[in-house]
Amino acid sequence: MHHPTSTADLTALIRDAAARAQPLRLVARGTWLNGGAPVSTTAEPVHLDAFSGIIEYEPGDLTITVGAATTLAELEAVTAAHHQWCPLAPWGGDAGSVGATVATATAGPFAHALGLPRDLVLGLEYVDGTGKVLRPGGKVVKNVAGFDLTRLLTGSWGTLGAITRVSLRLRAHPATVETWAVAIDEAHAGDIVRGLRRSATPPDACEALDATLAVQLGLGAQSQLLVRLAGNAAFVAAARADLHSRGAAVAADASLWMRLREAPRAAVARAAMSPGVRALNDRVKRTFDPANILNPGIMG
């Protein structure tokens, strides 16, 4: 077991593992989603929890830089004190780390309206498979300087580098927020979700729950639509009226969103790659982790 406490430690450890061709398994909070494929059983765990804490937070900029192992719960608490939040809010709940959320590009219920991880990450610090400390991107909200290693790392499942720092975009809390549950016929769930998202007053989250999940969340035995309306008071009033015109909506507790995020989920589905795209992926991996030691096998 390895427990690096600085990027210099991490560099030394990755260089050493590369020289020994020893696979490593990156761990921050140990809550990663099922990637659909196990990491090689001979991999030595590398605990990254030392890379934790708020590094820079200027609320007026609506951006924050944190150590990658910072929990989502800490990110939420620190930003909430300034009436701000990060819409990453991924499936799996708030026990996991910011770094793992970015590494796995795990979205959540707010992604459709407020952005996927790739849309929210501004910059990174990470150590690649050759032991180099890299700092692509930045901490400002708009940045096209250089080739986009930040997007490349987002969703790379720790196979191209161990992320140590993340800069993120934040949002101000909306003035008014309401959560509603609407009993629905599961067969029409897709149409109802589409209809709501295309209304003049779209919700900022809208998830269809099957009957099993509805029971788990204490919403009764019928399929439900969980809807979050957010905006100024007049907007939310209009959105509420629109929602009521579509079905019998019942006011629900905001804590349901966390319980929904924490509910168990299926393994990540992976689409087949064309030979050309597969070749590019292989080249990327060979370029940034030539010894094939970082989370080998996890992407299938």
Partner 1 sequence: MTLADTLRAIVGETHVLVRPAELIVYESDGLPGYHRRPSLAVFPADADEALRVVRALAAEGVSFVPRGAGTGLSGGALADGTVLLGLQRMRKILEIDPVRRVARVEPGVVNVSLTKAAAPFSLHYAPDPSSQTACTLGGNLAENAGGPHCLKYGVTLNHVVGAVVALPDGEVVTLGDPHGTGDAAGYDLLGAFVGSEGCFGVALELTVKLTPNPERVVTLLADFTSINDAAETVSAIIAAGVLPAALEMMDQATIGAVESSIYAAGYPTDAAAILLVEVDGAAAGLDDDVQAVDRLCRAHGARDVRIATEPAARAKLWQGRKKAFGAMGRLAPHLVVQDAVVPRTKLTALLAQIAEIGGRHRVRVCNVFHAGDGNLHPNIAYDAGDADESARVHLAMKEIMQACIDAGGTITGEHGVGLDKLAYMDSLFTADTLDAMCRLRDVFDPERRANPGKVVPVRFCREQRPHKSAG
**Residues 124-153 interacting with partner 1 (rule: CB under 8 A):** 128, 132-136, 138-149, 151-152
Site for partner 1 (CB under 8 A): which residue of 7, 97, 154, 224?
A: 154
Question: Toward partner 1, which CB reaches closer, 144 or 251?
Answer: 144
Instruction: Supply the minimum distance, in Å, between the C-beta of residue 284 and partner 1.
Output: 5
- Are the C-beta atoms of residues 131 and 151 closer than 8 Å to each other? no
Nearest to 209 by CA among 241, 181, 243, 246: 181
Instruction: Supply the minimum distance, in Å, between the C-beta of residue 172 and partner 1.
Output: 4
Contact flag: residue 189 with partner 1 (CB under 8 A) = no
Site for partner 1 (CB under 8 A): which residue of 22, 281, 292, 297?
A: 281
- Are the C-beta atoms of residues 117 and 105 closer than 8 Å to each other? yes
Instruction: Supply the minimum distance, in Å, between the C-beta of residue 183 and partner 1.
Output: 25
Rule CB under 8 A: which of 10-49 touch partner 1? none
φ and ψ at residue 294, rounded to 5 degrees: -90, 115
Site for partner 1 (CB under 8 A): which residue of 20, 173, 188, 265?
A: 173
Contact flag: residue 160 with partner 1 (CB under 8 A) = yes
Question: Toward partner 1, which CB reaches closer, 62 or 215?
Answer: 62
Rule CB under 8 A: which of 53-72 touch partner 1? 58-63
Nearest to 153 by CA among 89, 104, 112: 104
Question: Toward partner 1, which CB reaches closer, 134 or 263?
Answer: 134
For residues 98 and 252, what is the distance between their CA atoms, to the nearest angstrom?
Answer: 28
Instruction: Supply the minimum distance, in Å, between the C-beta of residue 147 and partner 1.
Output: 4
φ and ψ at residue 182, rounded to 5 degrees: -125, 125
Site for partner 1 (CB under 8 A): which residue of 45, 155, 247, 297?
A: 155
Q: Give ∠ CA 215-104-122 in degrees, rounded to 5.
A: 115
Instruction: Using the structure block, give the residue that is written with the tokens 């590019």.
Output: 280
Q: Which residues are CB-neighbours of 90 under 8 A, at least 6 positions away?
A: 72, 96, 101, 106, 107, 108, 117, 261
- Are the C-beta atoms of residues 144 and 111 closer than 8 Å to each other? no
Six token digits for residue 244: 């009521």
- The helix or strand, by DSSP H or E, that contains position 224, with its residue range, turns out to be strand 224-231
Site for partner 1 (CB under 8 A): which residue of 237, 246, 263, 292?
A: 237
For residues 1 and 193, what is the distance between their CA atoms, to the nearest angstrom?
Answer: 46
Instruction: Supply the minimum distance, in Å, between the C-beta of residue 81 and partner 1.
Output: 14
Rule CB under 8 A: which of 96-115 touch partner 1? 105, 115
Rule CB under 8 A: which of 250-269 touch partner 1? 268-269
Site for partner 1 (CB under 8 A): which residue of 1, 187, 266, 272?
A: 272
Contact flag: residue 50 with partner 1 (CB under 8 A) = no
Six token digits for residue 51: 């890379």
